[in-house]
Amino acid sequence: MSSPDRPNPSRQAQLALTVGALGVVFGDIGTSPLYALRECLLWLGPVDRTEGVLGALSLIFWALCFEVGVKYLGFVTRADNRGEGGIFALVGLSIGATSIASQALISGTFSLTRQAIQLGFFPRLKIIHTNPEQMGQIYLPLVNIVLAFTTIWVVLGFGSSDRLAAAYGVAVTGTMVVTSVAFFEVTRLRWGWSRLRAGLVCGTFILVETVFLVANLHKFADGGWLPLALALGLLAVMHTWKSGRTEIQEKVYSGGFTELELAEIVKSKSIVRVPGSAVFMAASPRGVPLALLHHLKSNKCLHQTVVLLTISFEEIPQVPPEERLILTNERAGVWRAIGYYGYMESPDVGALCEELKARGVPLKPQEVTFYFNREMIVSGGNARMWEWQKSLYAFLSRNARPVKDYYKVLPTQVIEIGLPVQL
């Protein structure tokens, strides 16, 4: 898909974005050396204080130059996805940056969580758009609560910044190594670098960063276990959700009737066509959604206008408006539609229905009925998952935000059909 055209922001907006970037990108870098320097001086060996201070300052200076100047600014930030993921403004460090450094954690967590949801790696959560003119300004209430309680727990548990430094060191150096490994994959798969070229560049980064990581491993028992435990817990949730969705897709949604069989079904004399329009949400752009089959089996009737709608998320930030909707006429009053969204966007089925009407589908968006499957997870199946993963997925599925709410559909226009699924 092509990259959408974006209007140039005003000078005031550019200034606000620049100041925000200072806090998000450089705020943490501006404060971290202060803690690092204090720890260096605290554990300074039996050497001259002047030599020790100069040595610590030299190590911090060259480490920042290597990591920030060479690795991140010279390589990593170039691995953006149509403008998302790189740095758009590079301005000198300022005192004001540190005052808004907390936004690096808060806004970054909100954005990454939404992207994980859109790409199918995290359960659906409530997302509130705080600015109608800026799609990236979002608020996730549950994530905010989790951050608040986690922060309070960490502060009370560690008691001081001295003890917290152990956890912080392992977290930062571990992230540096993981970033380099991920960057190696980007250079190979996206940029087409040879294995030798990618290995030399990324290997240099990993060699230096591994020294820092190993130097922090002795702090594992003093608090270094915390970031690793949090990371493993989050990884377990993401892997379980993705595995569960894949299993359900293969077991439930991969089969079913074909479009040709559907055309024969809707023409059958045993099926009564009734006035009105219906939108059946389909997990796959092929075949017939189970909600429609259950509806036909139970009610023996079908609306005059039927739309099989699939929402597809692409691995790009935004989808251009002209590429948002693909519509196919399946005949006999049945249409198949696919709505495309980027991982930085939130789906709006109501807006898609307006577009369907504009393209000639005879439906009234305010009167259409939406049919959704409501999955009910049952254990005891042969899914390729551990039993604890099945139980965890069932818990996540029960507590995930309903699809009808996530797609911005009015409750009065929704009919949910139960779908037992055995994993």
Inter-residue contact 327 to 337 (CB < 8 Å): yes
pLDDT, mean of residues 396-405 = 87
Nearest-angstrom CA–CA distance, 308 and 283:
10
Q: Residue 3: inside a domain, yes or no?
A: no
**179 and 66 part of one domain:** yes
Pull the structure tokens for residue 239. Answer: 């892997």
- pLDDT 10s digits, 181-228: 999 999 999 899 999 999 999 999 999 999 999 988 888 888 888 888
Inter-residue contact 100 to 20 (CB < 8 Å): yes
Nearest-angstrom CA–CA distance, 20 and 23:
5
User: Where does the pLDDT of residue 103 fall: very low under 50, low under 70, confident under 90, or very high at 90 and above?
Assistant: low
Closest to 296 measured CA to CA, from 271, 319, 322, 275: 271
**223 and 263 part of one domain:** no
User: For every residue of 323-388, which 3-state class applies, written as one string?
Assistant: HCEEEEECCCCEEEEEEEEECCCCCCHHHHHHHHHHCCCCCCCCCCEEEEEEEEEECCCCCCCCHH
Q: Is the pLDDT of residue 314 over 60?
A: yes
Mean pLDDT taken over the chain: 83
> What pLDDT is attached to residue 156?
87
**283 and 417 part of one domain:** yes
Strand order in the sheet with 301-314: 325-329, 334-342, 301-314, 272-281, 369-378, 414-422
Percent of the chain beyond pLDDT 70?
Answer: 83
**205 and 277 part of one domain:** no
Amino acid at 81: N
Q: Residue 7: inside a domain, yes or no?
A: no
User: Where does the pLDDT of residue 104 fall: very low under 50, low under 70, confident under 90, or very high at 90 and above?
Assistant: low
**236 and 105 part of one domain:** yes
> What pLDDT is attached to residue 250?
82
* Domain boundary pick from 220, 242, 264: 242
Q: Among 14-28, 118-132, 313-327, which is the least confidently predicted range?
A: 14-28
Between helix 161-189 and helix 27-42 the angle, nearest 10°, is: 130
- pLDDT 10s digits, 247-282: 988 877 665 556 656 777 777 888 899 999 999 998
> What pLDDT is attached to residue 92?
35
pLDDT, mean of residues 149-167 = 81
User: Where does the pLDDT of residue 291 fall: very low under 50, low under 70, confident under 90, or very high at 90 and above?
Assistant: confident
Q: Which of 88-97, 104-113, 185-194, 342-351 has the highest mean pLDDT?
A: 185-194
Domain, as residue range, for 131? 12-242
Q: Decide which of 247 and 166 is more confident.
A: 247
**206 and 177 part of one domain:** yes
User: Where does the pLDDT of residue 102 fall: very low under 50, low under 70, confident under 90, or very high at 90 and above?
Assistant: low
C-alpha 422, offset from chain centre: 27
**281 and 350 part of one domain:** yes
**232 and 369 part of one domain:** no
> What pLDDT is attached to residue 96?
38
Going by their DSSP bridges, the two strands 334-342 and 272-281 should be labelled as: unpaired
Q: Which of 5-19, 72-86, 216-230 has the highest mean pLDDT?
A: 216-230
Question: How many domains, in total, are found in the chain?
Answer: 2
Q: Among 5-14, 360-369, 412-421, which is the least confidently predicted range?
A: 5-14
* Domain boundary pick from 215, 242, 269: 242
Nearest-angstrom CA–CA distance, 141 and 28:
24
pLDDT, mean of residues 408-414 = 88
